[in-house]
Chain A
């Protein structure tokens, strides 16, 4: 990983935790308010491809962790970025009020990821144009990917309540 990038990251932003777990990987822990500025800083340094946005539920700590994975296409004039390297930006948000600013203004392809996270974890992305259901057909009381969603109880209660049809003349 480019030493200069790490230095400029930690000198531009305070309250960042930068680690290099592998030679071609950089992990950045940022506070919620700094996410957009860090993303735009990294985009300016040539890391112009957002692989994905993901979410982790840390229920015991009462937090969600949003994970942005960035890498470089390597087509820009800026040679600071290397296409083989990836940057993982993590941020923690409180579970009670999970709102974060949408990153669509920087990376257009964040739209379906954020929609999915909104649907499955209930994280609200401010500025997202359509936070409508993407995969799910039904409404769930708790978004189903949260750790406190009891799938077995749900299956028992809901799918168990659907009666069989015409069982008396099913002789096949």
Chain B
């Protein structure tokens, strides 16, 4: 163990635990997922950074959204995100979740993902290299250290607005609100 980090470990052991065991939910959207198998296996080996793929969102705390998000996928993304236990971190991967990317004028693709679920960080590029995932992970460590990876807190705080946007795109959300939404 790094001796310089001893104080951090003693001060906030839970935070250090979250930081070094990021379990990424195995959720594939768009074309960016093609970068993930080499990242988690022998060639780039994400386990060096404590990142492991997890089969179910209920055991995961890192959500990589790896490409364009169609309206239908958004429904699955919201369901997956809401199932993950807190603290949870989301990273948008590639240019499509940021502002639509090359699908900026598509009739069925979400343009700004952060209007529907909170995003802690973005990896720009089309495609980003696997190294970019690790740069993002180390950035995420810094953010967790400084309590700035607070997407799940923002989701609670602005849930009414997020839910309103989700309902605007997806007619008839067939699950109840995750958090109580005040009547307006």
Complex contacts, A138 vs chain B, CB 8 Å = 71, 108, 169, 171
Q: Interface residues of A: mostly helix, strand, loop or mixed?
A: loop
Could you tell me if A164 and B114 are in contact, using CB atoms closer than 8 angstroms?
yes
Asked if A96 is at the interface (CB within 8 A of a chain B CB), the reply is: no
| Chain B interfacial residues counted at CB < 8 A | 30
Which one of A138, A144, A165 has the highest number of Cβ atoms from chain B below 10 Å of its Cβ?
Answer: A165
What 0/1 readout, one digit per residue, does chain B (168-179) give for beta carbons within 8 Å of chain A? 111100000000
User: Which of A139, A151, A161, A164 contacts B105 (CB under 8 A)?
Assistant: A151
In the docked arrangement, what's the CA distance between A132 and B147, Å? Answer: 47
Asked if A108 is at the interface (CB within 8 A of a chain B CB), the reply is: no
Could you tell me if B71 and A137 are in contact, using CB atoms closer than 8 angstroms?
yes
Complex contacts, A166 vs chain B, CB 8 Å = 118, 154, 157-158, 161
Known: A172-B120, A172-B148. A155 touches B158 (CB 8 A): no
Could you tell me if B154 and A137 are in contact, using CB atoms closer than 8 angstroms?
no
In the docked arrangement, what's the CA distance between A149 and B105, Å? Answer: 12
What 0/1 readout, one digit per residue, does chain B (106-137) give for beta carbons within 8 Å of chain A? 11101110110010110000000000000000
User: Which of B100, B107, B165, B168 contacts A154 (CB under 8 A)?
Assistant: B107
What 0/1 readout, one digit per residue, does chain A (129-140) give for beta carbons within 8 Å of chain B? 000000111111
In the docked arrangement, what's the CA distance between A138 and B162, Å? Answer: 18
Complex contacts, A163 vs chain B, CB 8 Å = 115, 161, 165
Complex contacts, A61 vs chain B, CB 8 Å = none
Complex contacts, B120 vs chain A, CB 8 Å = 172
Complex contacts, A170 vs chain B, CB 8 Å = 114, 154
Complex contacts, A165 vs chain B, CB 8 Å = 114-115, 118, 154, 158, 161-162, 165
Known: A138-B71, A166-B161. A159 touches B121 (CB 8 A): no
Which partner residue on chain B sits nearest A137 by CB separation? B71
Asked if A3 is at the interface (CB within 8 A of a chain B CB), the reply is: no
Complex contacts, A151 vs chain B, CB 8 Å = 105-107
Could you tell me if A144 and B108 are in contact, using CB atoms closer than 8 angstroms?
yes
Complex contacts, B110 vs chain A, CB 8 Å = 159
In the docked arrangement, what's the CA distance between A170 and B106, Å? Answer: 27
Complex contacts, A135 vs chain B, CB 8 Å = 72, 108
User: Which of A139, A140, A149, A162 contacts B165 (CB under 8 A)?
Assistant: A162
Complex contacts, A140 vs chain B, CB 8 Å = 107
Asked if A152 is at the interface (CB within 8 A of a chain B CB), the reply is: yes
* Nearest CB of B to A27, in Å: 31
CB-defined A-B contacts under 8 Å, sample of 13:
A137-B108, A138-B171, A154-B107, A155-B105, A155-B111, A162-B112, A162-B169, A163-B115, A165-B118, A166-B157, A169-B154, A170-B154, A172-B148
Given A136-B71, A159-B111, A166-B154, 10 additional A-B pairs, CB 8 A: A137-B169, A137-B170, A138-B169, A155-B105, A159-B110, A163-B161, A163-B165, A165-B162, A171-B148, A172-B143
